């Protein structure tokens, strides 16, 4: 009953762990290029990696025998015996990547050693060698992976849309390029150059990837202990973003994920940024290779430290210290408007101390009477209240009969239908008790349905030209996401143009002319980053939600009766007035009888029974 699986079937099963998407192939091939000692790595993709993924390097290259052997399972040049696992400093070592990639695609390899005259060209399809022949090629290696998952239609069918897959590839490119600033990288997508990164230091590499302005938003993080050496950069608290994506950990120059250690960094920003904001950080941890296990995940994106709790405390302390140093740095503002004109003293000017004149004969009781005399036309507080009250009620006798007659004040109270509580809620009586309306959530629901209506067919959208177009700089992955929904934004009345990896807003929909383009972009990215590939994804709804959240009131001041009534009327004109755009309740009904009368009746009943 038990049979040994054929190699091609075993490789396809292994590929399910190692090669989950095109980004997995990019990661493995780029890491192999770096392990080969390359100083230049070029990445070329087409159709988000579905059609082509090509990685070319100028590394050591391979001989004919090594080139064939590299595609066998568990074939590696990195380790020989078990103890080698305790001192691994290279990216790849398991010997599964190339075998897994070749099992689910068509692979072409051209490689030549520097000391060889000719190289070799291998064609492999579904783990089967189609051809092998000598070829003239540059020293190094060039891997071309074509038609990924062509022999597993189900896996290819469930790949995410191109913008989402491209974003994942860019993320993997970032993770490899950041920790290797001494290597030159280029990245082309569908014939367009996305990155050309020259060699330099870490800050120059970050500027080349995330924009030149990022350097001014970072602070140094640096400490060395007997357990770990921590280095890199953390973002300033006031530069935190609504979207995540610029959080990077590297252990011994290898990218890894760790929610546990990430919490240490976020804890350092506690009380400095809101709970829904994300700080940027690029942190490198260097530890003894014997005190770290990097072999706990097939994709090698997780690691296990020997003393993880101590590293957590050190990391939290060093980030907190770096932030405190930045926070206490003095800020000098050269604003001379309204400053006094201070004359410049000439040389040898004699400085005389100012004299203070005191009247020692002054006696405040000599001229004033010993009894207090009230100034003319001034009334005590109770007299002022008496006059105001009589002026409002008509006569003092009318106020005495206040229990039997209605005063103007009582009439006003009865006419008042809405009451604002803490500048956040509107209270109004209803049949079943008291209705509370959350002003922020109600405004969000109103805006959401209004923006959603702009997408409807035959709707007329009015745009407002910006006197000064606003430019929003983005990382390349964020830029790609915004570009993927640019057509839908233009239907809503936005006039958007692209300059490099920046978005320029030349016009906004009428009603949003005072809005912040940066806030709008941040909300759009936050809403589409995580669930862009969801089966229930609706571009119109996500964009309407983003705009509603960016423009809805976060904290409103005091509202007049007319404004409160207008807001409630607009809310109940919505299709779903009881929930906001994210499904949270906008209104709450408080049943007065249950809140007050029922407990009182229980107390009275208990007293009657006891007596």
> Which pLDDT tens digit goes with each residue over 290-320?
788 776 666 667 788 888 889 999 999 999 9
Higher pLDDT, 533 or 103: 103
Higher pLDDT, 141 or 525: 141
Q: 3-class SS at 155?
A: helix
Question: Rg of the chain over CA atoms, in angstroms?
Answer: 35
- Residue 349's pLDDT band, with cuts at 50, 70 and 90, is low
Q: Which residues pair with 62 in a beta bridge?
A: none
> Which residue do the tokens 């009230």 mark?
374
Torsion angle defined by CA atoms of residues 188, 202, 25 and 525, in that order, rounded to the nearest 10 degrees: -70
Q: Is the pLDDT confidence value at 398 over 50?
A: no
Among 10-19, 113-122, 178-187, 315-324, which stretch is predicted with the lowest mean pLDDT? 10-19
Determine the pLDDT at residue 96: 73
DSSP 19-47: -SSHHHHHHHHHHHHHHTT-SEEEEEEEG
Q: CA-CA distance, 540 to 545, in Å (whole number)? A: 9
In the numeric block, which tokens belong to residue 606?
């208990």
Determine the pLDDT at residue 401: 45
Determine the pLDDT at residue 330: 44
Q: CA-CA distance, 333 to 392, in Å (whole number)? A: 52
Q: Max CA-CA distance within the chain? A: 121
φ, ψ for residue 86, nearest 5 deg: -85, -5
Q: CA-CA distance, 67 to 89, in Å (whole number)? A: 22
Write out the H or E segment, with its range, that includes residue 411: helix 408-415
Mean pLDDT across 540-567: 77
Q: CA-CA distance, 192 to 46, in Å (whole number)? A: 10
Mean pLDDT across 278-300: 80
In the numeric block, which tokens belong to residue 401?
């009969």
pLDDT digits (tens, 9 = 90+) for 570-609: 888 888 888 887 788 888 887 766 666 666 666 666 666 6
Q: CA-CA distance, 409 to 392, in Å (whole number)? A: 8
Positive or negative, the Cα torsion across 10, 13, 17, 22? positive
Q: What are 515-521's contacts with CB under 8 Å, separation 24+?
A: 515/550, 515/551, 516/470, 516/550, 517/470, 517/472, 518/470, 518/472, 519/550, 520/546, 520/547, 520/550, 520/551, 521/472, 521/474, 521/482
- Residue whose C-alpha is closest to residue 519's, from 236, 163, 280, 243: 243
- Report the share of the chain in percent with pLDDT over 90: 23
Q: Is the pLDDT confidence value at 39 over 90?
A: yes
Mean pLDDT across 9-34: 80
Q: Is the pLDDT confidence value at 199 over 60?
A: yes
Higher pLDDT, 228 or 3: 228
- Residue whose C-alpha is closest to residue 437's, from 416, 418, 414: 418
Determine the pLDDT at residue 397: 44
Determine the pLDDT at residue 539: 66
Determine the pLDDT at residue 458: 53
> Which residue do the tokens 């060093």 mark?
318
- pTM higher than 0.75: no
Q: 3-class SS at 494?
A: coil
What is the rounded average pLDDT for all residues in the chain?
77
Q: What are 121-130's contacts with CB under 8 Å, separation 24+?
A: 122/67, 122/68, 122/71, 124/71, 126/8, 126/102, 126/151, 127/7, 127/8, 127/11, 127/71, 127/99, 127/102, 127/103, 128/8, 129/68, 129/71
- Residue 261's pLDDT band, with cuts at 50, 70 and 90, is very high
Q: Is the pLDDT confidence value at 172 over 80?
A: yes
Q: What are 372-378's contacts with CB under 8 Å, separation 24+?
A: none
- Residue whose C-alpha is closest to residue 551's, from 584, 572, 531, 581: 581
Q: Which residues pair with 499 in a beta bridge?
A: 502
Determine the pLDDT at residue 386: 42
- Residue whose C-alpha is closest to residue 171's, from 245, 282, 278, 97: 245
Q: CA-CA distance, 61 to 33, in Å (whole number)? A: 9
φ/ψ bin of 348: left (φ > 0), alpha (ψ from -120 to 50), beta (otherwise): left
Q: Is the pLDDT confidence value at 346 over 70?
A: no
- Residue whose C-alpha is closest to residue 148's, from 190, 101, 108: 101
Q: CA-CA distance, 480 to 487, in Å (whole number)? A: 13
Determine the pLDDT at residue 440: 87
> Where is mean pLDDT largest: 180-189, 408-417, 419-428, 539-548?
180-189
- Residue 555's pLDDT band, with cuts at 50, 70 and 90, is low
13-to-71, 99, 103, 111, 128 alpha-carbon distances in Å? 15, 11, 9, 28, 16
Determine the pLDDT at residue 347: 58
- Residue 413's pLDDT band, with cuts at 50, 70 and 90, is very low
User: Hey, how many other C-beta atoms are within 10 angstroms of the C-beta on 518?
Assistant: 18
| 312 touches 261 (CB < 8 A) | yes
Higher pLDDT, 23 or 350: 23
Q: Which residues pair with 284 in a beta bridge?
A: 231, 250
The alpha carbon of 348 is separated from its chain's Cα centroid by a whole number of angstroms, namely: 62
DSSP 515-552: S-HHHHHHHHHHHHHTTTT-TT--HHHHHHHHHHHHHS
Q: CA-CA distance, 275 to 269, in Å (whole number)? A: 10
Determine the pLDDT at residue 188: 93
pLDDT digits (tens, 9 = 90+) for 71-112: 887 666 665 555 555 555 555 555 578 888 888 899 999 999
Q: CA-CA distance, 192 to 69, in Å (whole number)? A: 34
Q: Tell me how long the chain is.
A: 611
Residues 6+ apart with CB under 8 A from 570: 446
| 255 touches 249 (CB < 8 A) | yes
Determine the pLDDT at residue 412: 45
Residues 6+ apart with CB under 8 A from 331: none
Q: CA-CA distance, 339 to 343, in Å (whole number)? A: 12
Write out the H or E segment, with its range, that includes residue 175: helix 162-178
Q: Is the pLDDT confidence value at 241 over 80?
A: yes
Q: CA-CA distance, 206 to 182, in Å (whole number)? A: 12
User: Hey, how many other C-beta atoms are within 10 angstroms of the C-beta on 71?
Assistant: 21
Q: CA-CA distance, 236 to 240, in Å (whole number)? A: 7
- Report the share of the chain in percent with pLDDT over 70: 73
| 447 touches 486 (CB < 8 A) | no
Positive or negative, the Cα torsion across 340, 341, 347, 351? negative
pLDDT digits (tens, 9 = 90+) for 425-472: 888 887 777 888 888 888 888 888 887 776 665 556 677 788 888 888
């Amino acid at each position: 009953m038990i049979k040994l699986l054929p190699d091609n079937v075993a490789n396809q099963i292994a590929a399910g762990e190692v090669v989950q998407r095109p980004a997995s192939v990019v990661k493995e091939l780029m890491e192999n290029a770096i392990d080969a000692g390359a100083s230049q790595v070029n990445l070329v993709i087409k159709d988000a990696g579905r059609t082509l993924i090509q990685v070319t390097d100028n590394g050591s290259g391979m001989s004919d025998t090594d080139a064939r052997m590299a595609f066998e399972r568990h074939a590696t040049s990195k380790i020989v015996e078990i103890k080698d696992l305790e001192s691994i400093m290279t990216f790849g070592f398991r010997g599964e990547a190339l075998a897994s990639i070749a099992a689910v695609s068509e692979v072409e390899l051209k490689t030549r050693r520097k000391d060889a005259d000719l190289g070799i060209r291998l064609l492999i399809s579904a783990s089967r060698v189609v051809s092998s022949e000598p070829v003239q090629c540059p020293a190094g290696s060039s891997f071309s992976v074509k038609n990924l998952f062509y022999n597993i239609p189900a896996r290819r069918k469930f790949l995410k849309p191109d913008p989402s897959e491209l974003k994942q590839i860019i993320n993997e490119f970032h993770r490899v390029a950041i920790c290797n600033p001494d290597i030159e990288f280029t990245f082309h997508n569908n014939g367009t150059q996305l990155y050309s990164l020259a060699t330099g230091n870490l800050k120059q590499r970050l500027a080349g990837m995330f924009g030149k302005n990022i350097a001014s938003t970072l602070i140094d993080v640096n400490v060395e202990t007997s357990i770990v050496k921590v280095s890199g950069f953390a973002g300033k608290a006031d530069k935190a973003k609504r979207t995540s994506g610029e959080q990077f950990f590297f252990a011994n120059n290898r990218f890894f994920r760790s929610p546990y250690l990430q919490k240490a960094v976020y804890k350092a920003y506690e009380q400095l940024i809101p709970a829904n904001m994300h700080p940027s950080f690029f942190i490198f941890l260097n530890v003894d290779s014997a005190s770290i296990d990097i072999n706990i995940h097939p994709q090698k994106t997780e690691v296990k430290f020997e003393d993880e709790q101590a590293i957590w405390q050190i990391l939290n302390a060093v980030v907190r210290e770096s932030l405190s140093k930045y926070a206490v740095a003095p800020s000098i503002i050269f604003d001379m408007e309204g400053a006094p004109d201070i004359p410049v003293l000439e040389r040898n000017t004699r400085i005389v101390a100012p004299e203070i004149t005191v009247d020692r004969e002054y006696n405040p009781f000599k001229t004033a009477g010993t009894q207090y005399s009230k100034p003319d036309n001034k009334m005590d507080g109770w007299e002022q209240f008496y006059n105001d009250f009589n002026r409002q009620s008509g006569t003092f006798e009318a106020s005495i009969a206040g229990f039997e007659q209605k005063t103007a004040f009582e009439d006003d109270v009865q006419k008042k239908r809405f009451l604002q509580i803490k500048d956040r809620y509107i209270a109004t009586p209803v049949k079943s008790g008291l209705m509370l309306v959350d002003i922020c959530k109600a405004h969000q629901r109103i805006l959401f349905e209004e923006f959603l209506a702009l997408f409807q067919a035959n709707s007329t959208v009015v745009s407002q030209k910006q006197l000064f177009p606003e430019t929003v700089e983005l990382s390349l992955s964020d830029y790609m996401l915004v570009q993927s929904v640019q057509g839908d934004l233009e239907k809503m009345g936005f006039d958007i143009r692209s300059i490099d990896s920046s978005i320029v807003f030349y016009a906004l929909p009428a009603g949003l002319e005072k809005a912040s383009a940066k806030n709008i972009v941040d909300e759009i990215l936050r809403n589409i980053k995580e669930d862009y590939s969801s089966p229930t994804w609706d571009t119109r709804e996500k964009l309407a939600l983003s705009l509603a959240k960016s423009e809805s009131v976060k904290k409103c001041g005091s509202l007049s009766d007319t404004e409160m009534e207008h807001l409630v009327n607009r809310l109940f004109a919505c299709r779903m007035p009881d929930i906001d755009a994210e499904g949270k309740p906008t209104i709450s009904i408080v049943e007065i009888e249950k809140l007050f009368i029922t407990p009182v009746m229980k107390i009275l009943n208990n007293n009657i029974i006891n007596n």
